[in-house]
């Protein structure tokens, strides 16, 4: 009997509050903590973003803009407006065809396409003269996919602001798309030139003009080319970012195989936990059904990729801790029309359930920061062995693991702040002694002025001093890593009018709500793309499995010799090992 493992989405571990909190959008980053996260994810999944989750858009947009094949060969636009008009008509037809063929799909522009599609069925002809995204003349390409196609080397920008296709893979994808739709009335009657399409011709074309058609027999060439593109199989040498994208996609396939090997089946709703946090950070696969974990051994070939994803997860837990403190600060000052000083904020935090929560989790009173570290058997700066042992001990099911801490009930701002301090303590214990992990070396080399956990760890070193008190600890964190960091980020973005709080003299005044959130890791988009490419399949309930083609690709990755053009990450590691001790002493 199959054991079904449907883990809750990571959002369940985000802070909750007893009153309505305004939902956040992805661009809101008051402390600049997304910078390091985005840098890591961009390196690991170049060309795949949080908004690019369908494989066929990559080949469709190549076909749509190909300068010597379709628009330029058949219509030869002389002005940017001509290019946009031609582009828009084709994209509108793709959106309408996709929805008409499968109402459960959501192509770019579904809101605009649905009412026009309904009118078209009534009138007997479809109108393709509309923007799928009213805010962008080039629709999904201009809003979402254009940057990805450029990063993958498929397009270039030349005169008049018109994007052109590069030779090689870009042209091959355009030809493959055209070949798959060549026999439709839409192409045979050159209906792409017109704004009105007879219903009979639309019906005769829509099955091949959909995003889903790539999974059919007609899409076999497109699938082959896109697999080569995403996995970097189309050249004798590849750059390091292409290699890491290959290994990230390969590790997803490998993790799926491991779950299946243990008779566990994964749901789309559990992407974050399954493909990122459990195997990449905790090195386990996790059955929530019986709350057991099974060790996950990452293939040696994926070691560098695996290490970078660990650093991404570490940054998310660090982000959650600091943003919990920001949240608590905003809640306290939000009820004070005259504002509050940082000293008064700290007093309010410690008047509530702060010490109570620490005592419940530590099993003893924690009147000073040193005592919370003792709860994790930390009495001195952790060695490599001590940090490694703690990483092995505090897996998701263990008491006081990151997952366990994030489950703390939030009664008030004191419990929120206690949760943040506990999370910082366990991260310190797990990582303070680790100085030679490859992912950490890369982040150190590329983070610049970005705030990440290693720049914060010297603050926690001071917790080991028996004379360090909670009030001075909280005051320093709020002043340096909340107030000063917030102001620095707002000045850099030149968004002072959009700040979350403002200072007047020595007092803080709340400007808007904020709730902590985990940053996107793009694994859901990667899984959706690999489903389109028939490497992963899902049943009606969203449970995932790897296909025979997916296993073939995984074996090819694991067994293939890789010739990589690399920025010698080994030399980066050596420089890092030299400077890391100096950083920690500063």
Beta strand pairing call for 292-295 and 284-287: antiparallel
User: By the 8 A CB rule, do 279 and 7 touch?
Assistant: no
Alpha-carbon distance 566 to 239, whole Å?
A: 6
Return left, alpha or beta for 242; rule: phi > 0 is left, psi -120 to 50 is alpha, else beta: alpha
User: By the 8 A CB rule, do 569 and 240 touch?
Assistant: yes
Alpha-carbon distance 50 to 52, whole Å?
A: 6
Sequence-distant (6+) residues with CB within 8 A of 581 are 435
Which of helix, strand or coil describes residue 382? coil
Sequence-distant (6+) residues with CB within 8 A of 526 are 45, 48, 248, 249, 252
Sequence-distant (6+) residues with CB within 8 A of 537 are 531, 544, 545, 547
Alpha-carbon distance 105 to 112, whole Å?
A: 14
Per-residue HEC secondary structure of 102-140 comes to: CCCCCCCCHHHHHHHHHHHHHHCEEECCCCCCCCCCCHH
Alpha-carbon distance 39 to 450, whole Å?
A: 10
E strand or H helix that includes residue 491: helix 484-493
Which of helix, strand or coil describes residue 206? coil
Which of helix, strand or coil describes residue 17? coil
Q: Which CATH class is domain 239-301+522-585?
A: mainly alpha
Which of helix, strand or coil describes residue 470? helix
**Residue 426 structure tokens:** 């366990």
Alpha-carbon distance 22 to 84, whole Å?
A: 37
Q: In what order do the strands lie in the sheet with 501-504?
A: 340-341, 507-510, 501-504
Whole-prediction pTM value?
0.89
Sequence ranges of the domains in the chain: 30-46+307-510, 56-231, 239-301+522-585
pLDDT in tens, the chain (586 residues): 345 444 444 444 333 333 323 333 335 899 999 999 999 999 999 999 999 999 999 999 999 987 434 555 666 666 778 788 888 999 999 999 999 999 999 899 999 999 999 999 999 999 999 999 999 999 999 999 999 999 999 998 776 667 888 989 999 999 999 999 999 999 999 999 899 999 999 999 999 999 999 999 999 999 999 999 999 997 767 899 999 999 999 999 999 999 999 988 888 888 888 889 999 999 999 877 777 899 999 999 999 999 999 999 999 999 999 999 999 999 999 989 999 999 999 999 999 899 999 999 999 999 999 999 999 999 999 999 999 999 999 999 999 999 999 999 888 999 999 999 999 999 999 999 998 888 998 898 888 888 999 889 999 999 999 999 999 999 999 999 999 999 999 988 877 678 999 999 899 999 999 999 999 999 999 999 999 999 999 988 888 999 999 999 999 999 987 766 655 444 444 444 444 444 444 4
Question: Which residue matches tokens 């102001």?
Answer: 487
Calculate the CA dihedral of residues 284, 286, 290, 291 and round it to 10 degrees.
Answer: 70
Choose among 459, 450, 407: nearest CA to 428: 459
Query: What's the length of the chain?
Result: 586
């Amino acid at each position: 009997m199959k054991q079904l493992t449907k883990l809750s989405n990571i959002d369940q571990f985000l802070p909750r509050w007893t009153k309505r909190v305004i939902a956040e959008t992805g661009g809101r980053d008051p402390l600049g903590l997304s910078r390091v996260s985005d840098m890591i994810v961009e390196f690991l999944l170049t060309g795949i973003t949080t908004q690019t989750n369908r494989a066929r858009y990559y080949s469709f947009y190549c076909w749509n803009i190909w300068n010597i094949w379709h628009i330029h060969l058949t219509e030869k636009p002389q002005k940017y407006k001509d290019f946009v008009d031609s582009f828009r008509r084709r994209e509108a037809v793709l959106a309408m065809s996709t929805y008409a063929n499968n109402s459960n799909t959501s192509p770019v522009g579904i809101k605009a396409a649905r009412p026009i599609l309904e009118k078209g069925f009534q009138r007997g002809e479809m109108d393709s003269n509309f923007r799928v995204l009213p805010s962008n003349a080039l629709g999904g390409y201009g809003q979402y996919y254009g940057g990805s196609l450029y990063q993958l080397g498929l397009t270039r920008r030349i005169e008049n602001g018109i994007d052109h296709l590069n030779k090689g893979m870009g042209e091959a994808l355009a030809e493959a798309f055209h070949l798959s739709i060549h026999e439709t009335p839409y192409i045979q009657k050159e209906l792409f030139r017109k704004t009105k399409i007879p219903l009979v011709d639309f019906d005769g074309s829509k099955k091949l003009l959909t995003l889903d058609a790539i999974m059919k027999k007609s899409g076999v060439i497109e699938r082959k080319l896109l697999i080569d593109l995403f996995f970097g199989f189309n050249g004798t040498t590849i750059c390091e970012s292409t290699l890491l994208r290959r290994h990230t996609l390969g590790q997803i396939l490998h993790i799926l195989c491991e779950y299946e090997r243990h008779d566990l089946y994964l749901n789309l709703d559990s992407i974050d936990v399954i493909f990122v946090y459990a195997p990449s950070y905790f090195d386990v696969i996790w059955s929530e059904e019986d709350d057991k974990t099974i060790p996950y051994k990452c293939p040696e070939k994926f070691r560098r990729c695996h290490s970078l994803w660990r650093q991404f997860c570490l940054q998310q837990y660090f982000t959650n801790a600091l943003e919990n403190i920001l949240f608590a600060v905003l809640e306290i000052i939000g009820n004070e029309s005259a504002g509050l000083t940082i000293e008064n904020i700290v007093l309010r935090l410690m008047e509530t359930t702060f010490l109570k929560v620490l005592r419940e989790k530590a099993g003893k009173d924690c009147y000073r920061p040193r005592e919370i570290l003792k709860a994790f058997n930390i009495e001195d700066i952790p060695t490599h062995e001590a940090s490694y042992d703690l990483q092995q001990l505090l897996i998701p099911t263990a008491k006081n693991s990151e997952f366990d801490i994030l489950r703390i009930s939030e009664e008030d701002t004191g419990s929120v702040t206690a949760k943040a301090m506990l999370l910082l303590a366990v991260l310190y214990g797990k990582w303070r002694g680790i100085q030679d992990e490859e992912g950490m070396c890369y982040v150190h080399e590329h983070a610049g002025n970005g705030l990440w956990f290693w720049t914060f760890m010297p603050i926690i070193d001071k917790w080991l001093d028996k004379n360090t008190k909670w009030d001075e600890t909280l005051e320093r964190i709020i002043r340096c890593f909340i107030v000063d960091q917030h102001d620095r980020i707002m000045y850099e973005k030149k968004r002072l009018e959009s700040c979350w709080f403002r200072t007047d003299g020595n007092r803080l005044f709340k400007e808007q709500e904020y709730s902590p959130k985990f940053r996107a890791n793009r694994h859901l988009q990667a899984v959706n793309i690999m489903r389109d490419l028939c490497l992963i399949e899902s049943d009606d309930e969203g449970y995932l499995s790897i296909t025979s083609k997916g296993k073939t690709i995984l074996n090819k990755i694991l067994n293939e010799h890789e010739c990589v053009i690399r920025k010698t990450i080994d030399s980066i590691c050596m420089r890092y090992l030299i400077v890391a001790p100096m950083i920690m002493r500063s």
